[in-house]
Amino acid sequence: MTSTSDRSAAIDVSDLVKRYGDKVIALDGVSLEVTAGSVFALLGPNGAGKSTAIRILTTLARPDSGTVSVGGLDAVAHPDAVRRIIGVVGQKHGSDPQATGRENLVLQGVIQGLHGAELHRRVDALLEQLGIGHAADRVVRTWSGGMSRRLDIAMAMVHRPEVLFLDEPTTGLDPEARAEVWSQVRRLTAERTVSILLTTHYMEEADEFSDEVAILDRGRIVATGSPDFLKRQLRGDALRLEFRSDVSADELKGALRRVEGLGDINVSGRWVRARVSDGAAIAPATLAALDGAGLAVASVTISRPSLADVYLRHTGNEFASTEPPQLIAAAI
Amino acid sequence: MTSSRHTAQFTLRHLRALWRQPAYIMMTLAQPLIWLLLFSQLFSRVAQIPGFGSGSYLTYLVPGLVVMTALMSAGWSGMTFIEDIDRGVMDRLLVSPVWRGSLNIGLLVQGACITVVQSAVLVGIAVLMGARFGGGVAGLAAMVGVAMLLGGAFSALSNGFALVARQRESLIGMVTMLTLPLTFLSSVFMQPAFLPAWIRNVSRYNPVNWAAEAARATTQANPDWTSAGAHAVLLLAVLLGCMMLATLSFRTYQRSM
């Protein structure tokens, strides 16, 4: 850990610890650095500490120990200074459902220091930019989930923040609304004027949008790097086998003992995931060995490692909501 | 300057919300109207007891009911905070440089407006029923002002409690546990001289009683502005104390995050 503060870092966190009571350690020495103008994805299973980390970085909660710098400002010592330069889209909708979209946006603008003609110009521009101008004067209660999510983004952006936090911005949205939200995020990231820290449950979102990823598990960062770097680290391809009936790990490992270049075998019911150094060469040997042991394979898929594989490797959990792997070869 | 801009925005927010659901005021009026019709009938002959002083029980009762109504509707103020917490509005506000006091004051002003409407309805109906008030418009306005001070204090207390408890059930419990005993441990329904000695002693330290005494003092046949003024000063001190407590509660809320 270097102690010199990097001027180009939008977020610089070191040795963050947060406990709840005596037993629960939500964050157990987390350090991370987000380069200015980049998109950083924080991934991890539920309860890994993502929300706690976001709450501390956005000044809502205080750490028990560790340092937090956002935009070069100390978030623990000067929370109000940090609050002026950050925008936050929380997990829940942050808008008042009894108020109209415009009223919500004006209130947020005023508490972020805007007023007069400038405020109204900014509000009008944001409503237009996010494609919610037509509904601006209706109370938010009547809006769709995707629309009020875009209002949340507008509210977070009203004061042109330096750092934007997106905490599961697409959870609970239908695919169309998710696409709408991401097209807005894509526009923001293209401009490179704002640094973004996001958490998401969708691996393919993290893969597509982030320059860097950190995987958090039980309060610790277990892997960090660009999505490509992390995928390359896995060395080799992902092999997925489906059997006709449940298989035991012992039975399987016995059968595959002789096959070289096969590792990280993970059994779950009828499904088996493994890592292979060279899929095309090893698949036939694997199938032959299984056939010899009398294990009936229903299907086999070999794919390039995805961020979901990286995630699985580091947390031991499989993301429920990942898209089908890109198919390279299928046999049987 | 910043703080007044913030306060104006939150006041606007809560007044608009009130304007969009006027039924809310009607709902909080139902109970005091029942008290007014029921108690003025039930106890109408109390005023005939030698030494009661006031000519009609109805005239005696109305200032106390105005105060009680302000107290009861102010108790629900914290519900808005709990809704804001549940919806994520509170967290969104707390990660902005908003002046915390404005969140409270906005709701206090909303409560004050509700008190004006409720008091006007109560006084209007009472006058139709035959109540007569001294002190004129100034006396009635002072009565409403005193009710606002008490309501504001209780509203701030309710907001602070909401931030700490964060549950509707707890807030409902707190409001019901406080409002009725505080009202009955006061001269709202009964002349102080007729109260049992222990209740009379307790009532001296009860802000609800201060408000009721002040409200009657400005609306009785010969208004007693000195007594009303003294009580109003005490209520103002309570209001400021409760507002400080409410602002401190934001820290408690954030510490639990």
More confident residue, A46 or A133: A133
More confident residue, A263 or B182: B182
Pairing of strands A195-199, A212-217: unpaired
Structure tokens belonging to residue A47: 């309860």
pLDDT of residue A130 exceeding 50 = yes
| Phi, psi (rounded to 5 degrees) for A310 | -60, -45
Task: Report percent pLDDT > 90 for chain A.
Answer: 50
Tell me, what's the pLDDT at A132? 94
**A210, A254: one domain:** no
Locate the domains of chain B by residue range: 2-44+55-255
What 8-state DSSP symbol labels residue A140?
G
**A192: exposed, middle or buried (C-beta count within 10 Å: 0-12, 13-18, 19+)?**
exposed
**Residue A303, domain CATH:** 3.30.70.980
Query: If you average pLDDT over every residue of chain A, what do you get?
Result: 87
CA A325, chain centre distance (Å) = 18
Is residue B111 within 8 A of residue B119, CB to CB? The reply is: no
**A193, A251: one domain:** no
- Decide if B87 and A106 are in contact by the 8 Å CB cutoff: no
Q: Which residues of B touch A91 (CB under 8 A)?
A: 88
**A185, A309: one domain:** no
Is residue A127 within 8 A of residue A136, CB to CB? The reply is: yes
Tell me, what's the pLDDT at A172? 81
Interface of B with A (CB under 8 A): 2, 5-6, 9-10, 12-13, 16-17, 20-21, 84, 86-89, 91-98, 254-255, 257
Longest dimension (CA), chain B: 62
Is residue A66 within 8 A of residue A54, CB to CB? The reply is: no
Q: Where are the alpha helices (DSSP H) in A98-248?
A: 101-111, 116-129, 145-157, 175-191, 203-209, 227-233
Is A102 near chain B, with CB under 8 Å?
no
pLDDT of residue A278 exceeding 80 = no
**What is the identity of the amino acid at B135?**
G
Mean predicted confidence (pLDDT) in A35-43: 93
What is the span of the domain harbouring residue A308? Answer: 235-328
β-pair partners for A24: A20
Is residue A167 within 8 A of residue A156, CB to CB? The reply is: no
- Residue A332's CB is within 10 A of a number of other CB atoms, namely 10
Mean predicted confidence (pLDDT) in A49-74: 95
Q: Which residues of B touch A98 (CB under 8 A)?
A: 16-17, 20-21
pLDDT of residue B131 exceeding 80 = yes
Is residue A67 within 8 A of residue A13, CB to CB? The reply is: yes
The last residue of one of the domains, among A230, A263, A279, is A230
Q: Which residues of A touch B23 (CB under 8 A)?
A: none
3-state secondary structure of A32: strand
The Cα B66–Cα B42 span in angstroms is 18
Distance from CA of B89 to the nearest CA of A (A): 4
Is residue B159 within 8 A of residue B77, CB to CB? The reply is: yes
The total number of structural domains in chain A stands at: 2
Q: Model confidence at A318, in pLDDT bands (50, 70, 90)?
A: low
The Cα B143–Cα B146 span in angstroms is 5
Tell me, what's the pLDDT at A331? 33
Residue at token pair 């330290």: B205
Count of A–B CB contacts within 8 Å?
74
The Cα B25–Cα A263 span in angstroms is 69
Tell me, what's the pLDDT at B125? 94
More confident residue, B69 or A262: B69
Q: Which of B189, B237, B32, B212 is nearest to B126 (CA)?
A: B32
- Decide if B95 and A86 are in contact by the 8 Å CB cutoff: yes
**A97, A240: one domain:** no
**A166, A191: one domain:** yes
β-pair partners for A17: A28, A65
In order of A130, A153, A163, A236, A247, the CA distances from A121 in angstroms are 14, 17, 22, 53, 64
- Decide if A110 and B92 are in contact by the 8 Å CB cutoff: no
Taking CA–CA distances from A96, the nearest residue in chain B reads B89
- Decide if A111 and B257 are in contact by the 8 Å CB cutoff: no
Q: H or E segment at A197?
A: strand A195-199
The last residue of one of the domains, among A230, A261, A296, is A230
**A127, A258: one domain:** no
Mean predicted confidence (pLDDT) in A299-312: 84
**What is the identity of the amino acid at B99?**
W
The last residue of one of the domains, among A230, A257, A292, is A230
Taking CA–CA distances from B18, the nearest residue in chain A reads A98
In order of B46, B141, B215, B225, the CA distances from B138 in angstroms are 28, 5, 11, 11
Q: Model confidence at A324, in pLDDT bands (50, 70, 90)?
A: very low
Q: Which of B61, B6, B71, B73 is nearest to B35 (CA)?
A: B61
**A104, A220: one domain:** yes
pLDDT of residue A5 exceeding 60 = no
pLDDT of residue B55 exceeding 70 = yes
| Phi, psi (rounded to 5 degrees) for A317 | -110, 145
**A44, A172: one domain:** yes
**A175, A309: one domain:** no
What 8-state DSSP symbol labels residue A325?
P
**A301, A246: one domain:** yes
More confident residue, A288 or A196: A196
In order of A61, A291, B23, B120, B128, the CA distances from B37 in angstroms are 51, 90, 21, 16, 12
Is residue B57 within 8 A of residue B126, CB to CB? The reply is: no
Q: Which residues of B touch A62 (CB under 8 A)?
A: 254-255
Give the model confidence (pLDDT) of A154-208 as tens digits.
999 999 999 999 999 988 888 888 888 888 888 887 877 899 999 988 888 889 8
What 8-state DSSP symbol labels residue A142?
G
Mean predicted confidence (pLDDT) in B124-148: 94
Q: Which residues of B touch A96 (CB under 8 A)?
A: 13, 17, 84, 87, 89
Mean predicted confidence (pLDDT) in A53-68: 96
pLDDT of residue A327 exceeding 50 = no
**A117: exposed, middle or buried (C-beta count within 10 Å: 0-12, 13-18, 19+)?**
exposed
Q: Model confidence at A3, in pLDDT bands (50, 70, 90)?
A: very low
Q: Model confidence at A321, in pLDDT bands (50, 70, 90)?
A: very low
- Decide if A60 and B2 are in contact by the 8 Å CB cutoff: no
pLDDT of residue B70 exceeding 80 = yes
DSSP string spanning B140-185?
HHHHHHHHHHHHHHHHHHHHHHHHHH--HHHHHHHHHHHHHHHHHT
**A196, A249: one domain:** no
**What is the identity of the amino acid at B54?**
S
- Specify the range with the lowest mean pLDDT, choosing from A3-17, A71-85, A113-127: A3-17
3-state secondary structure of B134: coil
**A141, A265: one domain:** no
Tell me, what's the pLDDT at A328? 36
Structure tokens belonging to residue B228: 């009303």
| Phi, psi (rounded to 5 degrees) for A25 | -105, 105
Mean predicted confidence (pLDDT) in A128-145: 94
The Cα A230–Cα A120 span in angstroms is 45
Pairing of strands A237-243, A271-276: antiparallel
Task: Report percent pLDDT > 90 for chain B.
Answer: 79
Mean predicted confidence (pLDDT) in B136-154: 97
Is residue B211 within 8 A of residue B147, CB to CB? The reply is: yes
The Cα B232–Cα B137 span in angstroms is 18
pLDDT of residue A226 exceeding 80 = yes
